[in-house]
Amino acid sequence: MATIGANLQAVRERIARAATLAGRDTGTISLVAVSKAHPVGAVEEAYAAGQRAFGENYLQEALDKMRHLATAEIAWHMIGPLQSNKTRAVAENFSWVHSIAREKVARRLSEQRPAGLASLNVLLQVNVSGETSKSGVAPGELAALAHRVARLPRLRLRGLMAVPEPTADRGLQRTRFRALRELFDGLRAEGLELDTLSMGMSDDMESAIAEGATLLRIGTAIFGTRQRREDAV
């Protein structure tokens, strides 16, 4: 049962090593533990080991965990694709949404974010691999979307997120992450106050850190292999 805590420690050490190699301060890189397809007990174990930010892909599963962990001080991140008919529960229960690719979804989240809560932190998901099957806004459409989302009142546009195609090729990993960082830098140069670059998972976190990731979304390296087939990205 000590495994999750030990895994978390090993991941933190991997992050620190990669940051040092990249000449970066580890303190500028935050870790979201992706707990999808793992039971609430796994979240509790990571929480006991000091982890406070968790990522989930499926709304119902996330809500079930939140109900069990209502008194815990957790920042919940929605990282999975979002349908516009499910935005209300997301707006009411999450601190962050990483997967916005359409203005309609952003507008609904803004309208539905309860007045008593802080603004919802949002990231735009970008399709940096150019695969038709992947979700995310096309790079050429990103700037227009970003400027519209940045104006929505109950949202705070924090940055960009991407899930590039899985590959063991470090060079290709870095090419994809660099593309996202360049888009991020471009939007900042246009005056958007972005501070979050969500990129890097269990198998490519070193490449993401080398290219400037400020937020990593790590599942398998912390919680082990997921059982359910539909949880493959």
* Contacts of ligand PLP in 52-91 (CB under 6 A): 57, 79-80
CB atoms within 10 A of CB 164: 26
Cβ closer to ligand PLP: 114 or 166? 166
Contact 62, 34 (CB under 8 A): no
In the complex, the smallest distance separating the C-beta of residue 179 from ligand PLP, rounded to whole angstroms, is 17
Q: Are 32 and 216 in contact (CB under 8 A)?
A: yes
Tokens of 16: 């620190």
Quick one: CA dihedral 118, 56, 210, 128, positive or negative? negative
Nearer to ligand PLP, 158 or 217 (CB): 217
Tokens coding 87: 């935005």
By CB under 6 A, residue 10 contacts ligand PLP: no
Least CB distance to ligand PLP at residue 10 (A): 13
Residues 211 to 230 in contact with ligand PLP, rule: CB under 6 A: 217-221
Q: How many residues bind ligand PLP (CB under 6 A)?
A: 15
Smallest separation (angstroms) from ligand PLP to the CB of 140: 22
CA proximity to 106, closest of 140, 57, 154 = 154
Q: Which is nearer to ligand PLP, 82 or 194 (CB)?
A: 82
Query: What is the distance between the alpha carbons of residues 41 and 68, in angstroms, rounded to a whole number?
Result: 10
Paired residues of 141 in beta bridges: none
CB of 83 to ligand PLP, least distance (A): 15
- Subset of residues 182 to 211 that bind ligand PLP, contact rule: CB under 6 A: 201-203
Q: Could you tell me which residues are beta bridge partners of residue 90?
A: none
Task: Tell me, residue by residue from 111 to 140, as one string, x for binding to ligand PLP by CB under 6 A and - for no binding.
Answer: ------------------------------
Point out which residues pair with 32 in neighbouring strands.
217
Instruction: Name the site residues for ligand PLP (rule: CB under 6 A).
Output: 34, 36, 57, 79-80, 163, 201-203, 217-221, 233
